[in-house]
Structure 1
């Protein structure tokens, strides 16, 4: 829902998906938050007379996520190094084994489906689609939070260790688990498949919500993913979800990620995608380790760019086996593959624009310094209607990694203070753009 009020402000509804634990994974039940938003544009704001915050969030509701039985909570714990959880009609699902309640209480051994949720989209039927870093998988949930569909990607993306699938991301449990679980794996980096914690970071639905696209955060390990300079070529998978209970793998493309600097020494990983129309997409690519609470306050690459797959090679079925690769270990793309066309678009880091709203990139470590992790894209029409307007508001929200000095864990039962000493607010930016589109990208 998105509406323009008579006074020129806007109101709408936003769904947000917090991801899993930090500083050691925890038995955090994945969830979806619902917020009402009010946005009041301030086009006259200047650096000399900044507007300050003009986007207000009002908490409305939360949906907790459960497995296919509708009873067992999913978990943010890292997946076991071997094995999986089975349900009738579902592919093998990544699972974690832990003691008691997972928070250091009790000794009964428990198992739960592991989800490090990243992408979120709302289906035509009110269900939620969620992409995950651990599998990496894509899941569909009913409005009440019950899992009803799981998409397992091609074998080339499934992480393998020692000749078997290994969904662990080498992220230890914050609270100890049974011996051999949640305490690291050998080898730490899986030789093939998605890199640790770089699974399906980006996901989007088409405007009619009948097609799902999902993208890796960085290259598969066998395709350059283990090297900062080589993890450039990521896979984009397309699924027909007209019948959502039976998703059909339709196409697969290669998307080239940008480099963070002129020396091409490090790739800017993907943090979100958004389908615009036809073969065109937004992509949020950024550096890491820079921003509020980080060693460096200054980000050098933080963009929403555009890529197009109209002329890209459909690689479906050609490079999808567990030992297949679209690039070599140094990230050199195979001959005969035409990747998507990539174009720079929105730069987050321009202080001449940020300062108009009281925020900044670089400089003093204060609450107005942009956070490190920007991980979402949304787009709504400036005229507030479903039509062919060429002016749009593009929204992006940050992830604060639950870095706080006055937080609580386990549904409020345990106080928490982050060891960094920082308090990081969630942040949001809104950009007004012109982008000719012959039909609206999604229902409003």
Structure 2
């Protein structure tokens, strides 16, 4: 009997190892891409269908299983209204979708994971209260009635799938970096100094991100030690009226073990209305980042991926991480300085070279190119935020988000693209 049991254990172990090896080395069939994610209608507002979408605000590969991915929504379907947003489905919980490319080359959803507070209750995408990451935005329902706040609310924009099965998520409120369990329960919330959440902190200056322009991208270095986040656009440092360098934004790194941070300057091609979105690692110092504008690809939109390197770039954290305006040059915040002034001070931004222009390469049609995963062998997977299939009609009400080239409602789509 002992011999039989031992044989069974050995066979099981060999099969398990063989399956793991196959998963790691097998070629994934991407030939059927691009493909849309499967969707249902979440709600109908004023006769307009709000799809159960939004997946693509950020993306990450499964840390060990080839061909499996995670994509995340933002705070939920919304439109501009007065001094804030109409939340068309106020109870919506930011959600992670786990999917794979199956043997037939099709997208197969494996699981949906709602983000939850430390007590295990689903959170919402409603703004944080004052002092806990508030951007000053006011939340309204579809009828224009004021809603409350959520101390654990997230405007989630990027996701990291860690080797231990947990997730790190960055957002545009605080800006926060939040550590979630494999089931989506909050374990830790990391915010700028002065924001009353969590014990470990980011530099205070990051709290001067603009509303809806917070930490748009997040990845982890291949050694699993460091989180690397991108601020979407120029921050208002020291204030909206005084920040003048519209092409300057920041990258922040966070050592997971020690909590130590660094900051680096990033020079955008476009201005303050353009976005530095998701980031994915090539090595511990080299990355790919998204730069985009807000136009559809067929309407002159800019959808580019750049290779960047932190090697040789200057750490602009400064000596006082609690300083509200961060490092200064001759009494001026970095956002007040020209690139010539920054260079004269001996500070270098990260280096960057173009990896691919999606519009010229594949005729990319979507406006919100926001999810990016490096697949190896100079291939990337790219994803779009479809805004739940709706946009603002100009009066705070939803209308269908239509792709101008095809005339179809925009839906989250996965592409695989070769890069230089």
CA distance in 1, matches of 2:296, 2:241: 21
1:348 aligns with 2:358: yes
CA distance in 1, matches of 2:30, 2:210: 45
How far off its partner does 1:148 sit? 0.4
1:312 aligns with 2:295: no
| Matching of residues 31-430 of structure 1 within 5 Å | 31-38=95-102, 56-71=106-121, 73-80=122-129, 82-84=130-132, 111-152=150-191, 153-158=202-207, 193-222=208-237, 230-242=245-257, 248-259=259-270, 268-291=274-297, 297-318=298-319, 320=321, 321-324=323-326, 325=328, 326-329=333-336, 332=339, 334=342, 335-350=345-360, 353-354=361-362, 360-361=363-364, 370-381=365-376, 391-403=377-389, 418=399, 423-430=409-416
- The answer on whether the counterparts of 1:9 and 1:38 sit within 8 Å (CA) in structure 2 is no
CA distances 1:131-172 after superposition (whole Å, capped 9, x unpaired): 0011101000001111001111211111xxxxxxxxxxxxxx
- The answer on whether the counterparts of 2:400 and 2:409 sit within 8 Å (CA) in structure 1 is no
Distance 1:56 1:231, change over 3 A: farther
- The answer on whether the counterparts of 2:366 and 2:410 sit within 8 Å (CA) in structure 1 is yes
- The answer on whether the counterparts of 2:134 and 2:173 sit within 8 Å (CA) in structure 1 is no
CA distance in 2, matches of 1:278, 1:19: 27
Higher relative contact order (CA 8 A, sep 6+): 2
Distance 1:196 1:404, change over 3 A: closer
Match of 1:408 in 2: none
How far off its partner does 1:282 sit? 0.7
How far off its partner does 1:3 sit? 4.9
Distance 1:319 1:230, change over 3 A: farther
What's the secondary structure of 2:387's corresponding residue? coil
How far off its partner does 1:38 sit? 4.2
- The answer on whether the counterparts of 1:95 and 1:112 sit within 8 Å (CA) in structure 2 is no
What's the secondary structure of 1:402's corresponding residue? helix
1:30 aligns with 2:30: no
How far off its partner does 1:108 sit? 11
- The answer on whether the counterparts of 1:216 and 1:234 sit within 8 Å (CA) in structure 2 is yes
What's the secondary structure of 1:61's corresponding residue? strand
Distance 1:94 1:226, change over 3 A: closer
**Where does structure 2 lack aligned partners over 5 or more consecutive residues?**
1-22, 33-65, 80-84, 192-201, 392-396, 403-407
Distance 1:328 1:228, change over 3 A: closer
Distance 1:112 1:345, change over 3 A: same
How far off its partner does 1:78 sit? 2.6
CA distance in 2, matches of 1:271, 1:201: 5
Cα RMSD (Å): 3.6
How far off its partner does 1:375 sit? 0.6
- TM-score (structure 2 length as normaliser): 0.68
How far off its partner does 1:224 sit? 8.6
CA distance in 1, matches of 2:300, 2:24: 32
What's the secondary structure of 2:205's corresponding residue? helix
CA distances 1:66-102 after superposition (whole Å, capped 9, x unpaired): 112223x22112334x243xxxxxxx78899989xx7
CA distance in 1, matches of 2:112, 2:371: 19
How far off its partner does 1:112 sit? 4.1
- The answer on whether the counterparts of 1:224 and 1:231 sit within 8 Å (CA) in structure 2 is no
CA distance in 2, matches of 1:238, 1:210: 10
Distance 1:109 1:371, change over 3 A: closer
CA distances 1:103-134 after superposition (whole Å, capped 9, x unpaired): 88x99977442201111011121000000011
- TM-score (structure 1 length as normaliser): 0.64
How far off its partner does 1:328 sit? 4.0
CA distance in 2, matches of 1:62, 1:226: 42
- The answer on whether the counterparts of 2:203 and 2:261 sit within 8 Å (CA) in structure 1 is no
CA distances 1:392-433 after superposition (whole Å, capped 9, x unpaired): 32111011011159xxxxxxxxxx973556611212221234
